[in-house]
Protein backbone atom coordinates (compact mmCIF):
# COMPACT_ATOMS: atom_id res chain seq x y z
CA UNK A 1 0.00 0.00 0.00
CA UNK A 2 1.46 3.37 -0.97
CA UNK A 3 1.39 6.57 1.06
CA UNK A 4 -1.49 8.07 -0.95
CA UNK A 5 -3.67 5.10 -0.06
CA UNK A 6 -2.67 5.35 3.61
CA UNK A 7 -3.46 9.08 3.68
CA UNK A 8 -6.83 8.34 2.05
CA UNK A 9 -7.62 5.66 4.62
CA UNK A 10 -6.64 7.95 7.47
CA UNK A 11 -8.86 10.71 6.04
CA UNK A 12 -11.77 8.24 5.90
CA UNK A 13 -11.21 7.05 9.48
CA UNK A 14 -11.07 10.62 10.80
CA UNK A 15 -14.24 11.55 8.91
CA UNK A 16 -16.02 8.50 10.34
CA UNK A 17 -14.88 9.35 13.87
CA UNK A 18 -16.12 12.94 13.51
CA UNK A 19 -19.46 11.69 12.15
CA UNK A 20 -19.91 9.21 15.02
CA UNK A 21 -18.85 11.72 17.67
CA UNK A 22 -19.92 15.19 16.50
CA UNK A 23 -20.05 16.83 19.95
CA UNK A 24 -17.51 15.06 22.15
CA UNK A 25 -14.90 13.50 19.92
CA UNK A 26 -11.75 12.00 21.44
CA UNK A 27 -9.10 14.51 20.56
CA UNK A 28 -5.53 14.11 19.55
CA UNK A 29 -3.48 16.92 21.01
CA UNK A 30 0.08 17.47 19.82
CA UNK A 31 2.73 16.58 22.41
CA UNK A 32 3.33 19.47 24.77
CA UNK A 33 0.00 21.18 24.03
CA UNK A 34 -2.12 19.46 26.66
CA UNK A 35 -3.71 21.27 29.59
CA UNK A 36 -0.94 21.20 32.16
CA UNK A 37 -0.21 24.89 32.69
CA UNK A 38 -3.19 26.35 34.55
CA UNK A 39 -5.50 24.51 32.14
CA UNK A 40 -4.24 26.38 29.11
CA UNK A 41 -3.27 24.14 26.24
CA UNK A 42 -2.18 27.07 24.11
CA UNK A 43 0.49 28.11 26.60
CA UNK A 44 2.76 25.54 24.98
CA UNK A 45 2.89 27.77 21.89
CA UNK A 46 5.30 29.92 23.84
CA UNK A 47 8.88 28.90 24.39
CA UNK A 48 10.55 28.24 27.71
CA UNK A 49 12.72 31.37 28.06
CA UNK A 50 12.20 34.30 30.43
CA UNK A 51 10.11 36.47 28.08
CA UNK A 52 8.10 33.44 26.98
CA UNK A 53 7.31 32.58 30.61
CA UNK A 54 5.82 36.04 31.02
CA UNK A 55 3.74 35.53 27.87
CA UNK A 56 2.57 32.14 29.14
CA UNK A 57 1.53 33.69 32.46
CA UNK A 58 -0.27 36.52 30.62
CA UNK A 59 -2.18 33.99 28.50
CA UNK A 60 -3.14 32.03 31.61
CA UNK A 61 -4.40 35.26 33.18
CA UNK A 62 -6.47 36.16 30.10
CA UNK A 63 -8.06 32.72 30.10
CA UNK A 64 -8.76 32.85 33.84
CA UNK A 65 -10.59 36.15 33.31
CA UNK A 66 -12.51 34.72 30.33
CA UNK A 67 -13.64 31.78 32.46
CA UNK A 68 -15.04 34.01 35.24
CA UNK A 69 -18.80 33.90 35.51
CA UNK A 70 -19.23 30.95 33.16
CA UNK A 71 -21.67 28.42 34.51
CA UNK A 72 -21.91 25.75 31.83
CA UNK A 73 -19.92 23.47 29.57
CA UNK A 74 -19.67 24.94 26.07
CA UNK A 75 -19.94 21.51 24.43
CA UNK A 76 -22.76 19.88 26.37
CA UNK A 77 -24.56 22.78 28.03
CA UNK A 78 -24.10 20.96 31.37
CA UNK A 79 -24.40 23.35 34.30
CA UNK A 80 -21.44 23.48 36.68
CA UNK A 81 -21.48 24.58 40.30
CA UNK A 82 -18.62 27.04 39.81
CA UNK A 83 -16.23 28.30 37.18
CA UNK A 84 -13.46 26.30 38.86
CA UNK A 85 -15.17 23.18 37.46
CA UNK A 86 -14.47 24.28 33.90
CA UNK A 87 -11.33 23.44 31.95
CA UNK A 88 -9.98 25.24 28.92
CA UNK A 89 -9.37 22.76 26.11
CA UNK A 90 -8.18 23.04 22.55
CA UNK A 91 -9.39 21.04 19.57
CA UNK A 92 -6.90 20.03 16.92
CA UNK A 93 -7.37 18.48 13.49
CA UNK A 94 -4.86 16.12 11.96
CA UNK A 95 -4.26 16.91 8.31
CA UNK A 96 -3.10 13.59 6.84
CA UNK A 97 -1.94 15.03 3.52
CA UNK A 98 0.57 17.34 5.21
CA UNK A 99 1.11 15.40 8.42
CA UNK A 100 0.40 18.59 10.38
CA UNK A 101 -1.89 19.42 13.27
CA UNK A 102 -4.14 22.47 12.93
CA UNK A 103 -5.79 24.27 15.82
CA UNK A 104 -9.54 24.26 15.09
CA UNK A 105 -11.22 25.66 18.18
CA UNK A 106 -11.08 26.16 21.95
CA UNK A 107 -13.73 25.99 24.67
CA UNK A 108 -14.39 25.90 28.38
CA UNK A 109 -15.77 22.47 29.25
CA UNK A 110 -16.85 20.61 32.38
CA UNK A 111 -14.38 18.31 34.12
CA UNK A 112 -16.31 15.26 32.85
CA UNK A 113 -16.25 16.52 29.27
CA UNK A 114 -12.53 17.27 29.49
CA UNK A 115 -12.00 13.68 30.64
CA UNK A 116 -14.09 12.33 27.75
CA UNK A 117 -12.04 14.35 25.27
CA UNK A 118 -8.75 12.80 26.42
CA UNK A 119 -8.32 9.25 25.07
CA UNK A 120 -5.37 8.43 27.35
CA UNK A 121 -7.17 9.55 30.51
CA UNK A 122 -10.26 7.62 29.46
CA UNK A 123 -8.28 4.43 28.89
CA UNK A 124 -6.62 4.84 32.28
CA UNK A 125 -9.97 5.45 33.99
CA UNK A 126 -11.68 2.50 32.29
CA UNK A 127 -8.74 0.18 32.96
CA UNK A 128 -8.23 1.10 36.62
CA UNK A 129 -9.51 -1.70 38.88
CA UNK A 130 -10.62 0.75 41.59
CA UNK A 131 -12.92 2.73 39.27
CA UNK A 132 -16.57 2.34 40.22
CA UNK A 133 -18.88 0.76 37.63
CA UNK A 134 -21.43 3.53 38.25
CA UNK A 135 -18.82 6.19 37.44
CA UNK A 136 -17.91 4.47 34.18
CA UNK A 137 -21.58 4.05 33.29
CA UNK A 138 -22.17 7.74 33.95
CA UNK A 139 -19.26 8.77 31.74
CA UNK A 140 -20.40 6.42 28.97
CA UNK A 141 -23.97 7.78 29.18
CA UNK A 142 -22.74 11.38 29.04
CA UNK A 143 -20.61 10.52 25.99
CA UNK A 144 -23.51 8.79 24.22
CA UNK A 145 -26.05 11.53 25.05
CA UNK A 146 -23.76 14.34 23.87
CA UNK A 147 -23.15 12.54 20.59
CA UNK A 148 -26.82 11.85 19.83
CA UNK A 149 -26.77 8.16 20.75
CA UNK A 150 -29.41 8.32 23.52
CA UNK A 151 -30.76 4.85 22.61
CA UNK A 152 -27.55 3.29 23.93
CA UNK A 153 -28.15 4.72 27.40
CA UNK A 154 -31.06 2.33 27.97
CA UNK A 155 -28.52 -0.49 28.23
CA UNK A 156 -25.43 0.63 30.17
CA UNK A 157 -23.34 -2.23 28.76
CA UNK A 158 -24.03 -1.02 25.21
CA UNK A 159 -23.15 2.55 26.16
CA UNK A 160 -19.87 1.35 27.67
CA UNK A 161 -19.14 -0.77 24.61
CA UNK A 162 -19.79 2.10 22.21
How far apart, in whole angstroms, are the C-alpha atoms of residue 86 and residue 55? 22
Supply the range of the domain harboring residue 106.
3-110
In a domain, 27, yes or no: yes
Query: How large is the average pLDDT for residues 136-162?
Result: 88
Q: In the prediction, which pLDDT does 45 show?
A: 66
% of the chain residues with pLDDT over 70: 87
Q: In the prediction, which pLDDT does 26 show?
A: 81
pLDDT at 136 over 80: yes
Q: Which DSSP letter does residue 5 get?
A: H
Query: How large is the average pLDDT for residues 109-129?
Result: 85
| Total domains present in the chain | 1
pLDDT at 81 over 90: yes
The residue with greater pLDDT, 47 or 139, is 139
In a domain, 10, yes or no: yes
How far apart, in whole angstroms, are the C-alpha atoms of residue 39 and residue 139? 21
How far apart, in whole angstroms, are the C-alpha atoms of residue 57 and residue 39? 12
In a domain, 160, yes or no: no
Amino acid sequence: MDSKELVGQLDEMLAELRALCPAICPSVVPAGYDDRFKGTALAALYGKGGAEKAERAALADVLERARRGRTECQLTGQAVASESQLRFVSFWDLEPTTGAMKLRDCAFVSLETALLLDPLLMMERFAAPETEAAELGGLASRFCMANGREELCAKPARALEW
